[in-house]
Amino acid sequence: MLVNKEAGEIQPLQPAQAVSLRPLVEADLPAVLAIEQSAFLIPWTRASFLHELHNPHGRLLVADEQGQVIGYFCNWLVADEVHILRVAVHPDHRRRGVGRLLLQATLAEARRCRAHSASLEVRRSNLPAIALYQELGFCQVAVRRRYYENGEDALLMVCAFPPDNNMLEMKSSGEP
Ligand SMILES: CC(C)(COP(=O)(O)OP(=O)(O)OC[C@H]1O[C@@H](n2cnc3c(N)ncnc32)[C@H](O)[C@@H]1OP(=O)(O)O)[C@@H](O)C(=O)NCCC(=O)NCCS
């Protein structure tokens, strides 16, 4: 049994074992937008998500639990770099490992696609997200001063994949 540490309540939470990840489709947008509005000061609109759905570099995933969208993720994969644009989990489902699941899946796909690193910007005050990124190997490499509309700084965080990662994968897959 887990406790919802974020809300400080004694409320049982189940780990994200029954959660599956799949590509985001247009029919998911009402649920995604509801989470987006609860999660961000300046939420993306339906048009923003549609734009990313049609962007050849865009990759969007949802975390689905018994038909309910409880989280989502959006990134770009351009050349050998992944840039993470959006990750959010429904407030009732946080601290169940869903954010970790979404990020791990993205990083694994990035490695399969021979990417060398992943990067993102995060508000300096967003301690839950910073803790999640650090856990998965991201390090702060720069500060973008007054990056956000309210004047808040962004931390630029990068996760560099091991240089021999691609070679190991090539060897194990039998490719030359
Ligand atoms: C950031 C966010 C996506 C994390 O999602 P989540 O599903 O709750 O995170 P997980 O349960 O996978 O947490 C994995 C680890 O991250 C860290 N973490 C996550 N939330 C945390 C919090 N509130 N406080 C401290 N550490 C936290 C912990 O190390 C946690 O591991 P643990 O639960 O075993 O201690 C979620 O809080 C969210 O949607 N926030 C609003 C949107 C947002 O800020 N997105 C990021 C924009 S850059």
Structure tokens that stand for 40 in this block: 């961000």
Instruction: Specify if 30 maps to a domain.
Output: yes
Count of domains forming the chain: 1
pLDDT of 27 reads 98
Name the pTM for this structure: 0.88
148 is catalytic: no
Is the CB of 98 inside a 6 Å radius of any atom of ligand 1?
yes
Which ligand 1 atom sits closest to the C-alpha of 101? 12
Q: What percent of the chain has pLDDT over 70?
A: 84
Candidate of 89, 96, 127, 159 to mutate for ligand 1, largest count of ligand atoms within 8 Å of Cβ = 89
* Residue 20: domain span: 16-113
Instruction: Specify if 5 maps to a domain.
Output: no
**Chain centre distance of CA 100:** 8
Instruction: Specify if 96 maps to a domain.
Output: yes
Kindly state the average pLDDT of the residues 74-88. Answer: 95
pLDDT of 1 reads 35
Contact assessment for residue 132 and residue 124, using Cβ atoms and an 8 Å cutoff: no
Contact assessment for residue 73 and residue 89, using Cβ atoms and an 8 Å cutoff: no
CATH number for the domain spanning 76: value is 3.40.630.30
102 vs 105: CA distance, rounded Å: 5
pLDDT of 174 reads 44
